[in-house]
Amino acid sequence: MKTRVLPISPASIQEACHILRQGDLVAFPTETVYGLGALGLLPSAVQKIFEAKGRPSTDPLILHMSSTDLAQARANGVISDPIPQESQLLAKTFWPGPLTLILPRGTKVPHEVTAGLETVAVRCPSHLGAQQLLAAIGAPLAAPSANRFGRISPTDASAVLQELDGKIPLILDGGSCLNGIESTVVSFPQNQPTILRPGVITAQAISQLLGNECRISCHTQPQGTPASSPGMLASHYAPRSPLYSCQEPIKTFLPNFQHILFFSSQESKPDHAHILSPNQRPEEAAQNLYRLLRIADAQSPQAILIDPIPPSDLAPALQDRIFRASTGSAIWQGGSWTLQARDKT
Ligand code: AMP
Ligand code: MG
């Protein structure tokens, strides 16, 4: 199959709708990462997502909607009662935007989307291209990140092409993703808002809005409870070369290694060193993380070393992605790095 890449325009949106209505796949930009979209209420189309990605069917998908109105999603059979009150406030405040809500599954949602769960993940993206596509298709799109399963999420159209060339008919090109990491996922066990996947909308922002502490519950929280949903795999978003997260900032560069620094004040740096945030802003680091992992990985180094992430409200989201992408940690000992693989369970 030939994969075409078209810039977003009224004509390419129409073309995308035509392909989607035939039950085929279209990759499209969102503010988080590029999504691999299919009609979310059509089981045969959803099935194609799992095939193209090589994704296990036990990993549930997020439904993307054009409207921020939960009452409308309920009327359309996407979600059902009881809808937690906090979810309404979260949708009203953060939608359209990089927040996914886990709510009771509506009658129209196929089991293929939810991996058999009685809950469904929904979100309304803010990217203009995504909005235009969702408005034109007039139905929810199931859309996981547009990469082969377990690999680095794509944050521009060329990265999608690297991942899925020949496997899908169309990629809509809407430039680089603003946020650069996947959405914050919030669920409501026993009506208690809980973050299953940290993202750009932080625990602090959610807690402040709700006037109630919102916990993060995922693998990377050392004191955290075990994963409460499928799909929260410890190994994910991974480059091909082994990635090691350094326990202290990188000061020396090794031949045959690639190095990802959080920031550097040095004027010149070697070609095998990359800077996550030239302006020392965590949002900028999130925007660049996957792009730099891809660039480093493309050199097929012996290993990639990445700096520690300085504390901030966004640090848990960055640390989560780095942890899942990594093979282990690097400890500076006796003038060299000791690489320590971690148990991947
Ligand atoms: P992605 O593959 O990046 O689109 O992310 C989808 C992720 O959302 C999954 O891997 C899960 O972690 C989470 N998710 C989706 N649906 C559910 C659900 N019903 N319950 C809990 N988590 C979910
Ligand atoms: Mg993904």
Ordered structural domains, the chain, with CATH: 4-216 (3.90.870.10), 243-341 (no CATH)
- From atom 12 of ligand 1, which residue's Cα is the shortest distance away? 231
H or E stretch at 72: helix 70-75
The Cβ-side half-sphere exposure at 3, using a 13 Å CA radius, reads 19
Distance CA 205, CA 214 (A): 9
Q: Tell me the pLDDT tens digit for each residue of 27-60.
A: 999 999 999 999 999 999 999 999 999 999 999 9
Looking at residue 64, its pLDDT comes to: 98
What is the 102 CA–ligand 1 centroid distance (Å)? 8
Q: Tell me the pLDDT tens digit for each residue of 115-173.
A: 999 999 999 999 999 999 999 999 999 999 999 999 999 999 999 999 999 999 999 99
What is the 295 CA–ligand 1 centroid distance (Å)? 27
Looking at residue 264, its pLDDT comes to: 87
Phi, psi of 63 (to 5 degrees): -90, 130
Mutate to test the pocket of ligand 1, among 46, 50, 62 (most ligand atoms within 8 A of CB): 62
Looking at residue 296, its pLDDT comes to: 97
Q: How confident is the model at residue 175 (pLDDT cuts 50, 70, 90)?
A: very high
Distance CA 273, CA 264 (A): 10
Q: Which of 277, 257, 256 is nearest to 265 (CA)?
A: 277
Q: How confident is the model at residue 345 (pLDDT cuts 50, 70, 90)?
A: low
Strands 257-261 and 336-341: unpaired
What is the 82 CA–ligand 2 centroid distance (Å)? 28
Looking at residue 277, its pLDDT comes to: 97
Q: pTM of the prediction?
A: 0.94
Looking at residue 269, its pLDDT comes to: 84
- From atom 10 of ligand 1, which residue's Cα is the shortest distance away? 231
- From atom 2 of ligand 1, which residue's Cα is the shortest distance away? 144
